[in-house]
Amino acid sequence: MELVLALAIGILGGSGVWLLMRPRTFQLIIGLSLLSYAVNLFIFSMGRFPVGAAPILEPGGKGDPASFADPLPQSLVLTAIVIGFATTALFLVVMLAARGFTGGDHVDGRPPR
Amino acid sequence: MQDAFYLLAAVLLPYAGALITALLPANARTVAWLAGGTALLTLLMVVLGYSDIAAGRIPRVALPWAPELGLSFTLRMDGFAATFAVMASGIGFLVVLYSRYYMSPDDPIPRFFSFLLAFMGSMMGLVLSANLIQLVFFWELTSLFSFLLIGYWQNLAAARDGARMALTVTAGGGLALFAGVLVLGHIVGSYELDAVLAAGNLVRAHPLYLPALVLILLGAMTKSAQFPFHFWLPHAMAAPTPVSAYLHSATLVKAGIFLLARLWPVLAGTDAWFWILCPVGLITLLVGAYVAIFQHDMKALLAYSTISHLGLITLLLSLNSDLAMVAAVFHIINHATFKASLFMAAGIIDHETGTRDIRRLSGLNQSMPFTARLALVAAGAMAGVPLLNGFISKEMFFTEALTAATTPTLLHSILPIAATLASILAVTYSLRFIHGAFFGPETDDLPKKPHEPPQFMRVPVEILVFACMVVGILPSATVGPLLDLAARSILGDATPEYSLAVWHGFNLPLVMSLIALAGGVALYRLLYRHLNAGIDGTPLLERLDGRRAFDQVMVFISWRFARALERLMATDRLQMQLRLLVCIAFLAATLALLPHGLAPGGVQLTPVDPVVALMWVVGGACAIAAAYQAKYHRLAALVMLGGAGLVTCLTFVWFSAPDLALTQLLVEIVTTVLMLLGLRWMPKRIESAGSGHILARLRRLRDLAIAAAAGLGLTAISYATMTRVSPDGISRQFLERAYTEGGGTNVVNVILVDFRGFDTMGEITVLGIVALTVFALLRRFRPAAESVGMPEQQQGEARDWLLIPAVTMRLIFPVIIAVSLYLLLRGHDQPGGGFIAGLMLAIGILLQYMAGGTRWVEDHLRVLPLRWMGFGLLLAAGTGAAAIAFGKPFLTSYFAYADLGPLGKLPLASAVIFDLGVFALVFGATVLMLIALAHQSVRRPRAAPPPPVAALPEPAAAAAGEN
């Protein structure tokens, strides 16, 4: 299972990195999104893979780390997802504005010489 | 207590005056009285403190500044500091009075006086500082305010250039000084002036003495316009004349001299001191005087004369002789009085005739006899005519030039000749100043008909000239005590016997003076024809152009060097930058991992679940396909991206993270819709057969290799990490305390809104800022011309495609609202919470836009996203702040459960209210971004009739209002 997840992170990250180095703004935005999946999964994997572990406590008790999912990476990733959403939106609008200003969609604002 | 009052008031009063003056309306005329009053009060403070010094005490005050660093704000006034403080505030007052009449009503007067007072305050702070770092701080402030003063007429290019040059040179020197002071403080172990002054022997013997000396001298030489840094001073003459009178007589340029004299007990007395300063002073003295003769602008003549006199003082200080030190202090005072009055006289001439060009001026003695006599006396003092103050200090200079050498060197032996020569030149330029302007035939070829200035404009000059005469005739009775105190505060008990008498008998210095006077007159007669021919430039020294050198250096540093460096080390291409970033990150990770290796750990592996494996076969394929299609098939890439996101989301479900899964799912939806809205504005890109050059293919191959390496690296690191035991972090804390102390069973939510509530607070603020930025960017959005037309998909009979989904979407709107509220309220105990509920509600609104179109929705529904955001942020911050009202730290939460009977228990933690704020902000921000983007399609066609602005709700109206 660990290998499956590690491969998933690698494929998402690799595809993202490939797109980062492409010349078109839209490729960049997709690449960043893929990369953020990879990073989120990576952070999430710090809590390992508790299949079937309860995420919610019983009222009135203390949680035991052995039988519950690790909440810390989860809350970190939740924050990361929301911030990732915000930056994606911002980048999208910057991309549109650049497209309007430059008339093209090259990341440098103009085609290479 | 009294000390503290005088000293602090002396520094703070001018700043307070500057602040008040700056706030007055631009046409306020009373401002001069305010400024004058401030200057006079400051002078009074100094005089009050002076009575203490005269009684043998040194007033001081210390306030803690950065006690951890051993720094305190310390002021101290000894005789020497008092001398400068009297000059800065006294001449400052006279300059204010003079400016009252000099400045034109069209100039923004409050700004002028504000800068002037702030400069005065900085100067006071500089001379009264008892801490070296603090001194450097005020030093830089004087540079800054002199920049503002010199560039006061900011519409003149000469003023701007002169100001910039002065700032560059003096502030650059200030940096050197700062470094030097740090070294000095390091040697002594303290930055307190008293400690430093007491450590002279230690400093001079220290191996770091020379670096400290050179750095400090750099600071002093740039400030006091010593060769080769003298060139900024003439260009600073673009300032209004009162500014020149103030900056170049008593204050700014004397600051360097002040520092040299202040640190004289510590730094002087070595060969290095003499061999650096003496040649510099000598060259400055001679070159300044020589160039001054050939200036046609009266102010430029005075500027070069100032340079020359500063050189003289530097030379005196360099001689390592106690008597020379006394002479230097005396000449500082004398030069301030006669030079300030001469600048003011030049200003009066400029003001009343409209020109300062000596070639055009002539015979002003007829039309302005009083000013002529005042200027005559002041120029006499400058030339060193007997019975005026300049004469006495010049005699002292001659004496020192003859006798200072204890171990005579060649440089020492030429000093008397050089001193006489410099005096000859000084007599010549003084004569030129007076004879050129006031004598000769009266001319009517002037821009204005000359006449005497207003009486009070002349008063400052009269006072200063009176001082020149009184000091010149009765030196020991007038300036004697002040000079004595000043000299004593530098030299201490070593203060030598000196005599301030006018007549010392017929001796060698007197002969030198007579030679200088006669030689100066002769030289003026000799040069008379050349000077009146109106030739620009200085004979023999045409090539000495500091400005050109300065400009070349500036161009080199800020342009050629910078560009060369940029060409060498930078690229403006984003692809290359990101490529480097990835490669460097990869290398950094490799280096960090090198000692440890990436072998898998020993944890028992979880068995592979075929469903998850299959899911990731799809997910991985989606990611690769998205990467492959993103260039030519954006929609396909977007769909694939959604696929990968969905698989990620399912993974979260699988591994017991329901909150994450929900958030991921909703964010996925909103992001996809946002991008879909954006796609419409992108240029069409048609895939062409064959993919480019061999070069482009090679580049892609390289990138593919980098990407593959990055992916493999990620896999390896992830695998290595996952196969090791997770260290026992702080999760246990959260799990154990979530219910007992946070009052919620959904630990993730409790972490977000309670344990780490401050992070969440920051996060929603960021989200709000991003939404506002998006909104602002889109208000000014101008699409490319080719995307303005309606896309082909929307043309024709496309309208009813979504009929059935549209009805469904409308029907489920209330359901979405209810689910959203449910998710919000149960968030503390069950999966849900503010983020999720906010996104959910935003999607509800989004669906209505999709179903009904922008106009229809906005006719029926008013969403005010900005208010939602404001409300959310206030609520979240207010909940946090409420804890403070109960005496708890910010964002401490309180909880209880309310029993609602059959509806179950409702958690009533204050964190839920915080979560409500999160909810409102997330909803508002998301909707704001979506609506702003959606509106671009509505406001698009410029030629088409504008959208019904009045009918649109507020933010939309603003977005559309840009048409």
Token look-up 């896309």 returns B791
pLDDT of amino acid B740: 77
Number of cross-chain residue pairs from A and B with Cβ atoms under 8 Å apart: 329
How many C-beta atoms surround the C-beta of residue B565 within 10 A?
10
Using a CB-CB cut-off of 8 Å, the residues of chain B touching A62 are: 735-737, 739-740
Provide the b/e sequence for B350-386 (b: ≥16 CB within 10 Å).
Answer: bbbbebbbbebbbbbbebbeebbebbbbbbbbbbbbb
Using a CB-CB cut-off of 8 Å, the residues of chain B touching A10 are: 711-716, 718
- Chain A nearest-CA distance from B935, in A, is 13
Q: Count each helix (H run) and each strand (E run) in chain B, helices first.
A: 40, 4
Q: What are the structure tokens assigned to B557, written together?
A: 């540093």
Provide the b/e sequence for A51-74 (b: ≥16 CB within 10 Å).
Answer: eebebbbeeeeebebeebbbbbbb
How far apart CA B24 and CA B686 sit, in angstroms, is 64
> CA angle, corner B492, sides to B490 and B493, nearest 5?
155
pLDDT of amino acid B843: 92
pLDDT, average across residues B203-215: 93
Residue-wise pLDDT for B289-309, tens only, equals 999 999 989 999 999 999 999
With an 8 Å Cβ cutoff, are A101 and B782 in contact? yes
How far apart CA B425 and CA B526 sit, in angstroms, is 12
- Chain A nearest-CA distance from B61, in A, is 52
- Chain B nearest-CA distance from A36, in A, is 10
How far apart CA B230 and CA B546 sit, in angstroms, is 8
How far apart CA A64 and CA A67 sit, in angstroms, is 6
Return the H-helix or E-strand segment holding B475.
Answer: helix B475-478
Task: Kindly report which listed range (B130-144, B249-263, B632-646, B794-808) carries the lowest average pLDDT score.
Answer: B794-808
How far apart CA B807 and CA B402 sit, in angstroms, is 108
Amino acid at B16: A
CA torsion, points B448, B450, B453, B458, in degrees to nearest 10? 120
How far apart CA A43 and CA A27 sit, in angstroms, is 24
pLDDT of amino acid B1: 64
Residue of B nearest to A87 (CA): B770
Select from B617, B604, B647 the least CA-distant residue to A7.
B617
Q: What does the DSSP 8-state code read for residue B686?
A: P
How many C-beta atoms surround the C-beta of residue B523 within 10 A?
17
Using a CB-CB cut-off of 8 Å, the residues of chain A touching B582 are: 17, 20-21
Beta bridge partners of B236: none
Percentage above 90 pLDDT, chain A: 47
Amino acid at B212: A
Using a CB-CB cut-off of 8 Å, the residues of chain B touching A35 are: none
Substitution target in B732, B747, B915 with the highest count of A β-carbons within 10 Å is: B747
Whole-complex ipTM: 0.94
**Is the CB of residue A38 less than 8 Å from the CB of residue A9?**
yes
How far apart CA A90 and CA B772 sit, in angstroms, is 10
Residue-wise pLDDT for B717-728, tens only, equals 999 888 888 777
Is residue B940 predicted with pLDDT exceeding 70? no
Mean per-residue pLDDT of chain B = 86
Structure-model confidence comparison of residues B880 and B800, the more confident one: B880
Residue-wise pLDDT for B529-539, tens only, equals 888 887 777 77
Select from B607, B606, B611, B605 the least CA-distant residue to B647.
B611
Among the partner-chain residues B623, B645, B773, the one whose CB lies closest to the CB of A11 is: B623
pLDDT of amino acid B818: 94
CA dist A47 → A42, A66, A69, B663 (Å): 10, 11, 7, 18
Substitution target in B605, B622, B624, B648 with the highest count of A β-carbons within 10 Å is: B648
How far apart CA B880 and CA B756 sit, in angstroms, is 12
pLDDT, average across residues B244-261: 92
Radius of gyration of chain B (CA): 40
- Chain B nearest-CA distance from A51, in A, is 5
With an 8 Å Cβ cutoff, are A97 and B703 in contact? no
With an 8 Å Cβ cutoff, are A30 and B627 in contact? yes
How far apart CA B165 and CA B155 sit, in angstroms, is 16
Among the partner-chain residues B619, B641, B747, the one whose CB lies closest to the CB of A71 is: B747
3-state secondary structure of B585: helix
**Is the CB of residue B328 less than 8 Å from the CB of residue B318?**
no
B79-102 vs B252-262: helix axis angle to the nearest 10? Answer: 180
Put simply, whether A89 touches B (Cβ < 8 Å) is yes
Q: Give the pLDDT band of residue B945 (cuts 50, 70, 90).
A: very low
3-state secondary structure of B689: coil
Beta bridge partners of A24: A106
Put simply, whether A113 touches B (Cβ < 8 Å) is no
Strands B897-899 and B905-907: antiparallel
Provide the b/e sequence for B724-750 (b: ≥16 CB within 10 Å).
Answer: eebeeeebbebbbbbbeebbbbbbbbb
3-state secondary structure of B60: strand
pLDDT, average across residues B805-825: 90
CA dist A104 → A26, A101, B66, B674, B683 (Å): 11, 8, 54, 20, 7
With an 8 Å Cβ cutoff, are B721 and A45 in contact? yes
- Chain A nearest-CA distance from B607, in A, is 6
pLDDT of amino acid B898: 66
Put simply, whether B745 touches A (Cβ < 8 Å) is yes
3-state secondary structure of B598: coil
Put simply, whether B641 touches A (Cβ < 8 Å) is yes
pLDDT of amino acid B27: 66
Q: Give the pLDDT band of residue B948 (cuts 50, 70, 90).
A: very low
Amino acid at B640: M
Is residue B607 predicted with pLDDT exceeding 50? yes
How far apart CA B134 and CA B126 sit, in angstroms, is 8
How many C-beta atoms surround the C-beta of residue B291 within 10 A?
24
With an 8 Å Cβ cutoff, are A37 and B835 in contact? no
Is residue B929 predicted with pLDDT exceeding 50? yes
- Chain A nearest-CA distance from B109, in A, is 43
Bond preceding residue B600 cis, omega within 30 of 0 = no
End-to-end CA distance of chain A: 48
Residue-wise pLDDT for B755-777, tens only, equals 888 889 999 999 999 999 999 98
- Chain B nearest-CA distance from A113, in A, is 11
Q: Give the pLDDT band of residue B920 (cuts 50, 70, 90).
A: very high
Using a CB-CB cut-off of 8 Å, the residues of chain A touching B747 are: 55-57, 63, 68, 71
Burial of residue B455 (CB within 10 Å: 0-12, 13-18, 19+) is: exposed
How far apart CA B622 and CA B617 sit, in angstroms, is 9
Structure-model confidence comparison of residues B51 and A112, the more confident one: B51
Put simply, whether B738 touches A (Cβ < 8 Å) is yes
pLDDT of amino acid B952: 38
Q: Give the pLDDT band of residue B918 (cuts 50, 70, 90).
A: very high
Mean per-residue pLDDT of chain A = 86
With an 8 Å Cβ cutoff, are B708 and A14 in contact? yes
How many C-beta atoms surround the C-beta of residue B54 within 10 A?
14
Percent helix, percent strand, percent coil in chain A, to nearest 5: 65, 5, 30
A2-20 vs B694-722: helix axis angle to the nearest 10? Answer: 150
CA dist B368 → B104, B348, B442, B499, B880 (Å): 21, 10, 11, 38, 75
Task: Show which of residues 798-857 on chain B sit within 8 Å of chain A, judged by CB atoms.
Answer: 829-831, 835
- Chain A nearest-CA distance from B615, in A, is 10
Is residue B695 predicted with pLDDT exceeding 80? yes
Is residue B428 predicted with pLDDT exceeding 90? yes
Using a CB-CB cut-off of 8 Å, the residues of chain A touching B922 are: 82
Among the partner-chain residues B613, B638, B657, the one whose CB lies closest to the CB of A69 is: B657
Provide the b/e sequence for B643-668 (b: ≥16 CB within 10 Å).
Answer: bbbbbbbbbbebbbbbbbbbbbbbbb
With an 8 Å Cβ cutoff, are B631 and A24 in contact? yes
Task: Show which of residues 10-49 on chain A sit within 8 Å of chain B, judged by CB atoms.
Answer: 10-24, 26-27, 29-31, 33-34, 37-38, 40-42, 44-49
DSSP string, B372-397: HHHHHHHHHHHHT-TTSHHHHHHHHH
Provide the b/e sequence for B80-118 (b: ≥16 CB within 10 Å).
Answer: bbbbbbbbbbbbbbbbbbbbbbbbeeeeebbbbbbbbbb
Residue-wise pLDDT for B647-659, tens only, equals 999 999 988 888 8
pLDDT of amino acid B951: 38
Is residue B880 predicted with pLDDT exceeding 70? yes
pLDDT of amino acid B405: 65
Among the partner-chain residues B609, B623, B671, the one whose CB lies closest to the CB of A85 is: B671
Sketch out chain A's domains with CATH numbers: 2-49+68-102 (1.10.287)
Q: Give the pLDDT band of residue B81 (cuts 50, 70, 90).
A: very high
- Chain B nearest-CA distance from A67, in A, is 10
Residue-wise pLDDT for A81-99, tens only, equals 999 999 999 999 988 888 8
Q: Long-range contacts made by residues B834-837, C-beta under 8 angstroms, separation at least 24?
A: B834/B753, B834/B914, B834/B915, B834/B916, B834/B917, B834/B918, B834/B919, B834/B922, B835/A78, B835/A82, B835/B663, B835/B752, B835/B918, B835/B919, B835/B922, B836/B659, B836/B662, B836/B663, B836/B666, B837/B919, B837/B923
Using a CB-CB cut-off of 8 Å, the residues of chain A touching B726 are: 46-48, 70
Task: Show which of residues 764-803 on chain B sit within 8 Å of chain A, judged by CB atoms.
Answer: 766-767, 770-771, 773-774, 777-778, 780-785, 787
CA B379 to chain centre: 41
Residue of A nearest to B730 (CA): A72
With an 8 Å Cβ cutoff, are B645 and A37 in contact? yes
DSSP string, B213-247: HHHHHHHHHHHTT-TTSTTHHHHGGGS-HHHHHHH
pLDDT of amino acid B959: 40
**Is the CB of residue B735 less than 8 Å from the CB of residue B843?**
no
Among the partner-chain residues A34, A62, A100, the one whose CB lies closest to the CB of B781 is: A100
Is residue B64 predicted with pLDDT exceeding 80? yes
Q: What does the DSSP 8-state code read for residue B691?
A: -
Percentage above 90 pLDDT, chain B: 44
Task: Show which of residues 51-70 on chain A sit within 8 Å of chain B, judged by CB atoms.
Answer: 51-65, 68-70
Structure-model confidence comparison of residues B221 and B898, the more confident one: B221
- Chain A nearest-CA distance from B716, in A, is 7
Radius of gyration of chain A (CA): 19
pLDDT of amino acid B692: 67
Using a CB-CB cut-off of 8 Å, the residues of chain B touching A76 are: none
Using a CB-CB cut-off of 8 Å, the residues of chain A touching B682 are: 26, 99, 105
Residue of A nearest to B606 (CA): A1
